[in-house]
Structure 1
Amino acid sequence: MQGTQLIVRAAAILRRVGSGGAEGVTTADVAAATDLPRSTAQRVLAALAEEGFVDRDARRGRWHLGPELFLLGSVAAERYDVTSTARDILRSLAAKTGESAFFSARRGAETVCLAGEEGSFPLRSHVLHEGIRLPLGVASAGLAILAYLPLEDAEIYIKSRDQELASAYGDQHAALPLTRRLTATRRRGYAVNPGLIVPGSWGIGAAVFDRTGSPAWALSLTGVESRFNGDRTAHLGALLLEAAHALTQRISRRG
């Protein structure tokens, strides 16, 4: 690999390492996600480690994001980070509902989970965690964001990713059922993921908008199916929409 290709591959590797959260990822995980031979992935990871961009837990053999990224991220946060603005809203949602609350950002055709607060209910969904990346339309946060993109953009995305999403996440993520869920999301105002990634693990999400009116972030609640059935889903959705509206206004005032 040389030039631009190397930069693209290194960026993909860093994203995959970041998506591993506190558990980290193995070299095999990175190779599979980036379509690189394991030996090549190992060489690039070693080079990134030399520069401090990744770090390896020698005992467990797993890779994590490194200290240099923390330093760069601290500088970039002054311009881009709104997580601190959302923290108290996440805590309030978790306290009011007992479910786990999450804040995710749109990055191109994906969502990235930026922050989470655990609820008091002892049984939890483990689909989301800080750092995980998921395609738009997958999980409630990505569904909420996709629903509020311009209709033409959403349709183009669905058509272009039809087979890929269905293959990776099941037939319910093919174009027709995904389009139906988007229609339902626009009607309700919030998205519902009825255990489509992990059976029995439900989520609801609401879009948070930037100053131009674009869906740039999402708030979501996740939990076990028995906690999201019937009238309680509507109650949780109303709380989530209220919180998303408050956060949108707060971000707009923040400028």
Structure 2
Amino acid sequence: MKTRADAEVAQQASIKSLIKVMQILECFSQRDADLTPADIAARTGLPRATTHRLVSSLRDIGLLEQNGKRDTYKLGMKLFQLGSLVLQNLDLDSHARPYATRLQLITGENTHLCIFDGAQMAFVERQAMNSSGNTMITRIEAAPVHCTSVGKAFLAWQSAGLIHKIISDSLPERTPHTITDGDLLLAELRLIYERGCAYDLQENELGVHCVGAPIRGANGQVFAALSVSGPAERLPLPRLEGLAGLVMETAHKISLELGWLPGRTVAAATAFTRHDSRPDHAG
């Protein structure tokens, strides 16, 4: 008959196995889409026999796919299916749309609602004014994390591990204003964390300025971001700074709509969390 101690030992073993599975899945990135079991063992520090066993199990349940007869693996479509369900269940689009629409009408500029897809910021929604003065809603595929206001607004509230993973995956130069140095990006993210919003001053696209703020889920974790963007000549830095409060306030309201309760929900520690006191930014 199993004792309580036996059950606790079994639970701890299961948790350790799940941690190993996550370590394996997190080895993959856009730059390293195909890896051998030896590559995975080297990156995780797991024994090769353990790695081969877990990789085979993940392949059998569809979380990894083997590349033909080659001994390399990539993330499986099962993860895409699960991720799509997560997005649908979040219902971010319907909760946030009224706020994004109001923000667009007040500012007269484009608004973007984005979520992190594991590598880039995926646009859930973009609202813009057409020539006749009516709001248009369009979908866009993705945008870089390191040089957009939505990307930096998301990244500043993430763990040191994720930030360094983004940096190590490379910081491509989109314009002459793009931050491509890891140390400079870290310094920028710290400033963003302290003030509660991020600016994109022609970093992703020449002639375009943006201001973005983070959106939290019910657990307090930042998982999405909202921004206002427009021509640099119409949105110089002083005007962006003037709009920052409105963008942060709107992101804050969306977070509350999604179930975030400031002071009652605790997010995971971020790269810039202070040990003495954690700033509670709007949004």
- TM-score, normalised with respect to structure 2: 0.57
Alpha-carbon distance between aligned partners in 1 of 2:192 and 2:139, rounded to the nearest angstrom = 24
**Residue in structure 2 matched with residue 24 of structure 1 by the alignment:** none
**Residue in structure 2 matched with residue 214 of structure 1 by the alignment:** 221
Pick from 236, 245, 265 the counterpart of residue 229 of structure 1: 236
CA contact (8 A) 2:174 2:205 kept: no
Alpha-carbon distance between aligned partners in 2 of 1:113 and 1:87, rounded to the nearest angstrom = 13
Give the unaligned 5+ runs of structure 1. Answer: 16-68, 123-128
**Residue in structure 1 matched with residue 212 of structure 2 by the alignment:** 205
Q: Could you tell me which amino acid in structure 2 is paired with residue 160 of structure 1?
A: S
Cα pair distance change 1:121/1:230, threshold 3 Å: farther
CA contact (8 A) 1:99 1:121 kept: no
- TM-score, normalised with respect to structure 1: 0.62
The reply on whether 1:81 has 2:91 as its aligned counterpart is yes
Q: Which has the higher mean CA deviation after the structures are superposed, 190-199 or 230-239?
A: 230-239
- Taking only the aligned residue pairs, the percentage that are identical comes to 21
The reply on whether 1:166 has 2:172 as its aligned counterpart is yes
**Residue in structure 1 matched with residue 142 of structure 2 by the alignment:** 133
**Residue in structure 2 matched with residue 102 of structure 1 by the alignment:** 112
Pick from 60, 67, 73 the counterpart of residue 5 of structure 1: 67
Deviation at 1:245, TM superposition (A): 0.3
Alpha-carbon distance between aligned partners in 1 of 2:86 and 2:179, rounded to the nearest angstrom = 37
Alpha-carbon distance between aligned partners in 1 of 2:87 and 2:149, rounded to the nearest angstrom = 25
Cα pair distance change 1:253/1:196, threshold 3 Å: closer
Deviation at 1:137, TM superposition (A): 1.9
Alpha-carbon distance between aligned partners in 2 of 1:108 and 1:143, rounded to the nearest angstrom = 14
Q: Could you tell me which amino acid in structure 1 is paired with residue 101 of structure 2?
A: R
CA contact (8 A) 1:211 1:252 kept: yes
Q: Secondary structure at the match of 1:94?
A: helix
Deviation at 1:155, TM superposition (A): 4.2
Deviation at 1:10, TM superposition (A): 8.6
Q: Alpha carbon RMSD of aligned pairs, Å?
A: 3.2
Which residues in structure 2 correspond to 1:12-91 (within 5 Å)? 78-91=88-101
Alpha-carbon distance between aligned partners in 1 of 2:162 and 2:74, rounded to the nearest angstrom = 25
Give the unaligned 5+ runs of structure 2. Answer: 1-33, 35-58, 60-64, 133-137, 262-283
- Number of paired residues? 186
CA contact (8 A) 2:150 2:226 kept: yes
The structure richer in helix per residue is 1
